[in-house]
Structure 1
Amino acid sequence: MNTTAPRRLIAHLDMDAFYASVELLRYPQLQGLPVVIGGSRRNPSATAPRSLDDFARLRDYAGRGVITTATYPARALGVHSGMGLMKAAALAPDAILLPMDFEAYRHHSRLFKAAVTAIAPVMEDRGIDEIYLDLTDVPGAQEAVDGDPLGGVRALAQRIKTAVREATGLSCSIGVTPNKLLSKISSDLDKPDGLTVLMHDEVPTRIWPLPVSRINGIGPKATERLAAMGLRTIGELAASPAHELVSAFGRHYGSWLHEAAHGRDDRPVVTWREPKSISRETTFERDLHPRDDRTQLGPIFTRLCEQLASDLVRKNYAGRTVGIKLRYDDFKIVTRSLTLPQPTRDAATIRLWAGRCLKTVPLNRRLRLLGVKMESLVPGDGQPTVTEPDAPYSLPLFDEV
C-alpha cells in the first residue's frame, strides 16, 4: 500500500488584462490596438462608437484620472496600471481611452469563478480578477501522464483555463506550485495565456534570477533598501544571512524575507475571510471646494453612502462604526469616525452619521478625494436603522454651506 502523502499543489489564477479584455469583447475591432481603461465610469446611455475614429484618444484627455488597466500593446508603449492618464498620454497619445464598466467586470468575474469552482472547489477569492486554488485533492492532479510526474496537474490546469475561456471568452494565466507565494510569482512568468508548473527544486533556476520585486510583499521602498544592500535578485536575497535581514528590517519582516527568498510559504488556501471594513471612495477629475462646489459634492457624498449601503446588503453585513476620508489639494489626508449605538446598513442612516463625521473636519480647502467606510462589521440580517444622534455640531455639510 502506498502511504506517501500527496504533493501539495496550489494554483494562482490571474485573468489577463481583465478590464481591458472584457472591453475587447464589447469592441472586437480594438483587438491588437493599444487600449487604456480609466478616467471615468461608462455611461450606459452613451452612443456606442461605430468606427475607430469615434473612440476617445488618450491625447485628448484632461484631468487627474489614472489607468485602471491597459491592453498588452499599450503596456508595450510604457503605460501601466496606476499611471496618471496625462503622463500616459505623453507616452501613447494615440492609445484608445475607454471608461470603466464595473457591472460588466463583476459579471465576468462571477462567470470565471463559477467555471473554475465547478472543477476545483477549494478557492480563495483575492479580488475581481484573481484567485488561489488548492488542487491537492482534485482528481487527476497527482497522476503521472506519459512519464511526466506532473502531467496530471498540467492537464488539470489546462482544463481550468479552457473552462474559463468557454465561460467568458477571456484568457487567464495559471501558476501551480507547492505554495501560494511561488504560485503568485509563477502565474506572471508566461503572460498572457500562460501555464507554469513549478516545484520547489526548481526555485534556484527559475525563481532566483528574478528581481526581488517579483515577490508579492516586497514593495518599492523595500526594493530600494535591498538594492542599497546589494540585493537585487531573489537569489541574492536568498544568499543573504537571515540575521543580516533581521538586523536591517526587524525580526518579523526580516525573517519573512529570508523564507520568501527560499520559496517557503505554509499559508493555506482560505475559502472565507471576514472583512474588517467595507468602503467606497472617489477621486475627483478636478479639485472641488466644499463651498464653491457644494452642488456637486453633496450628491457625490450621498451616492457614496448609497453605494456603501448596497455593498453591505449584497455582502450581508451591517456596521457599527462609520468613517470618512478626505484628501485635500495639498495631499494631506484626514479621517474621522463615529461609533453608532447599533449596527446599520441603511443608506440614509449611513449618510446621516457620515455627515456628522464630516462636520468635525476643516472644509476650507479644495478636495481631491472623498470616501466613506463602515467598520465593526456584523452579519446584516435583521439589523435596525439607527436614529439621529443628539450631539450638536457646528460645522456645515457640503449641501448646507
Structure 2
Amino acid sequence: MTAPRRLIAHLDMDAFYASVELLRYPELKGQPIVIGGSRRQAGGASSPSGEPVQHARLRDYAGRGVITTATYPARALGVHSGMGLMKAALLAPDAILLPMDFESYRHHSRLFKAVVAEIAPVVENRGIDEIYIDLTDVPGAQDAIDGDPLGGVRQLARRLKDAVSRATGLTCSIGVTPNKLLAKLCSDLDKPDGLTVLMADEIPSRIWPLPASRINGIGPKANERLAALGIHTIGELAATPLHTLLAEFGSQYGHWLHDAAHGCDDRPVVTWREPKSMSRETTFERNLHPREDRALLTPIFTRLCEQVAADLARKDYVGRTVGVKLKYDDFRTVTRSLTMPTPTREASVIRQWAGRCLKTVPLDQRLRLLGVKMEGLLKADAAQAEAQVDPTPELPLFEPAMGDNP
C-alpha cells in the first residue's frame, strides 16, 4: 500500500502581540504601533471603558528596550522586531508605543491552539504565536491532495483560519505544503491574513525565484557567503553543484542547503519536545553596579529565581544544574553554572545555588543584564529524591562583605 502523501501546515499569527493590543484599543487600528519597553516607560495605564486613553509616542521613549513586534503600518516605516526603541524613534517618532502584556498574549495563544487541535489534533508548538499542523490524516485531506489540491486543501485551511478568528478575533496566515520547511516559508508569503497552498511540482515556479534568505535556517552570515558565490535566489542555490556547497559550508550544512533549495524536508510534526532548560533574564534600563546598586539588584535576582521556579512547577519539572548569566556594560557576557546533589524546583534552593555561582565571577563592573537558568531537567515524578536545602544562612546577593570576587 502506498503511504499517504504528507500535508503539513504552518500557522503564524499576524503581528500577534500588536494584534492582541488592538482588541483592547480598536480605535488604533490602521495606525503604526510598536510593542516593547516597560509598562512604566511605554505608558501602559488603562482607563475605564469609554474614556479616552493617552498613549505614549515612540519619540518620548528613553531607555534601552527593543521592539518585540510592530503593526504592519509601523513596519512600512522601517521599524521591525529586535530593533532598539531609540533607533526606531528616529524612523517613526509618531508611532504609538504600548507595553507588553504577556498574560493576555498567553491567553490568546492558548485559545487559538485549542481550536486548531479540535480540527487537527497533531500540532507542534513552536512558540506563543506559531504552530505546525499535520493535516495528513484529517478527514478529507487525502481526497483533497489526490483530487483537487488547490480547492480541497484551501477549504481545509480556511476552516482553521475561520476557527482561529472566531475564537480570538485575530487573523493568522497559513502555508500548506508537503513538509515543514516549505510550510514555514509559505506562511510568510501572503501576510497578513494569508493562505498559501503549494505542492511539490510548483517549487521551480513559485519558490526558486525567491531570495535564498527566505529559507528558514539561512541567516545573514550564511546569506553573505552565498552572495559571495553569486547565489542570490533559491533557484540559484538549487542549481549549485553539491560539491561546491560541501566545500564552502561543510558536510552537514552543505547537504542541508542542497536539500532545502529543492524543497526536501522529512522532519515530522512533533507533538511534544522535552525542554532542555528554562531561564529568565532581564536587561536593566540603566547599568547597575553590583555593590552600589545592590539594594536594587538583590530583589531582582531573587525574583528571577522565583520566576524560574514557577516555570518549573507549572510544567512539572525539576532541575539539577543552576546557572547565571551576566552582561557587563562593555557587552562582555559571562556565564557560570553549578550542579546540585539533587534536583529541585524550590525557589529558595535555586536562589542559594545561583548565589554560589555568582561567587565565581567578578562583580566589580556595571551590569546591563542578569539571568538565571535551570538545566538538567527531569519530570518531577522521575526525580529520584527531593533536593536537600543547605542550612547555611542566606546572605544578601551583592553584600560588600563578600569581597571583591564574590
Q: Give the TM bin, normalised by the shorter chain.
A: over 0.9
Q: Please, which runs of 5 or more residues in structure 1 have no aligned partner? A: none
Residue 98 of structure 1: aligned partner = 98
RMSD value over aligned CA atoms? 2.2
- Tell me: CA distance 1:389–1:198, structure 2 relative to 1, closer, same or farther (3 Å): farther
Please give the per-residue CA displacement for 1:26-70, whole angstroms capped at 9, x wherever unaligned.
111110000000011479993438436x10000000111000000
Counterpart residue identity of residue 229, structure 1: L
Aligned partners of 1:309, 1:165: CA distance in 2, in Å? 34
Residues 185 and 389 of structure 1: CA distance in aligned 2, closer, same or farther (over 3 Å): farther
Aligned counterparts of 1:91 and 1:45: Cα–Cα separation in 2: 22
Question: Which residue does 1:51 correspond to in 2?
Answer: 52
Alpha-carbon distance in structure 1 between the residues aligned to 2:38 and 2:262: 42
Deviations 1:97-125 (Å, cap 9, x if unpaired)? Answer: 00000010000000000000000000010
Q: Using a 3 Å threshold, how does the CA distance of structure 1 residues 144 and 270 change in structure 2: closer, same or farther? A: closer
Confirm or deny: 8 A CA contact 1:359 1:397 kept in the other structure.
no
Counterpart AA for 1:94: D
Q: Does 1:9 align with 2:11?
A: no
The whole-number CA distance in structure 1 between the counterparts of 2:168 and 2:217 is: 30
Q: Specify the alignment match of 1:321 in structure 2.
A: 321
Which residue matches 1:154? 154
Are the equivalent residues in 2 in contact too, given 1:340–1:386 (CA < 8 A)? no
Aligned to 1:386: 388
Q: What secondary structure is seen at the aligned counterpart in 2 of 1:270?
A: coil
The TM-score, its normalising length taken from structure 2, stands at 0.93
For residues 148 and 380 of structure 2, the distance between their equivalents in structure 1, rounded to whole angstroms, comes to 50
Distance 1:144 1:308 in 2: 45
Q: Which residue of 2 aligns with 1:111?
A: 111
Q: Are residues 1:280 and 2:268 paired?
A: no
- For the 8 Å contact 1:173–1:192, the answer to whether it is kept is yes
Question: Using a 3 Å threshold, how does the CA distance of structure 1 residues 81 and 398 change in structure 2: closer, same or farther?
Answer: same
| Corresponding residue SS for 1:308 | helix
Q: How far apart, CA to CA, are the structure 1 residues paired with 2:306 and 2:400?
A: 19
Q: Is the 8 A contact 2:43 2:99 kept in 1?
A: no
Residue 367 of structure 2: aligned partner: 367
Query: Cα offset for 1:397?
Result: 2.6
Distance 1:287 1:44 in 2: 22
- TM-score w.r.t. the length of structure 1 is 0.94
Q: Percent same amino acid among aligned pairs?
A: 76
In the aligned structure 1, how far is the partner of 2:341 from the partner of 2:278? Answer: 19
1:88 aligns with 2:91: no
The question of whether the paired residues in 2 share the 8 Å contact of 1:143 and 1:153 is answered with: no
* Structure 2 residue 239 is the aligned partner of structure 1 residue 236: no
Indicate whether 1:305 and 2:281 are aligned: no
CA positional deviation for 1:209 = 1.0
- Distance in 1 of aligned mates of 2:310 and 2:73: 36
CA distance in structure 1 between the partners assigned to 2:73 and 2:45 by the alignment: 26
User: Which residue is 2:36 aligned to?
Assistant: 38
* Residues 178, 199 of structure 1: 8 Å contact kept: yes
The structural deviation recorded for 1:389 is: 7.8
Conserved? CA contact 1:295–1:399, under 8 Å: no
Query: CA 1:213/1:77 → structure 2, altered by over 3 Å: closer, same or farther?
Result: same
Q: In structure 2, how many angstroms separate the alpha carbons of the residues matched to 1:328 and 1:7?
A: 52
Distance 2:44 2:206 in 1: 49
**Equivalence map 1:143-292=2 (5 Å):** 143-144=143-144, 148-292=148-292
- Any idea what the Cα deviations from partners look like across 1:180-226, whole Å, max 9, x if unmatched? 00000000000000011101111111111111111111111101111
Mapped to 2, the partners of 1:73 and 1:202 lie a distance apart of 31
| Structure 1 Cα separation of the partners of residues 30 and 44 of structure 2 | 27
Give the AA of the match of 1:157. A
Work out whether residues 181 and 263 of structure 2, in 8 Å CA contact, stay in contact via their aligned partners in 1: yes
CA distance in 2, matches of 1:38, 1:120: 33
**Which AA in structure 2 matches 1:352?**
Q
Aligned AA (2:276): K
Aligned-partner SS, 2:112: helix
**Which amino acid is the alignment partner of residue 37 of structure 1?**
I
Q: Which amino acid in 1 is paired with 2:311?
A: D
Give per-residue Cα distances to partners, 1:342-363, cap 9 Å, x unaligned: 0000111111110111111101
SS in structure 2 of the partner of residue 33 of structure 1: coil
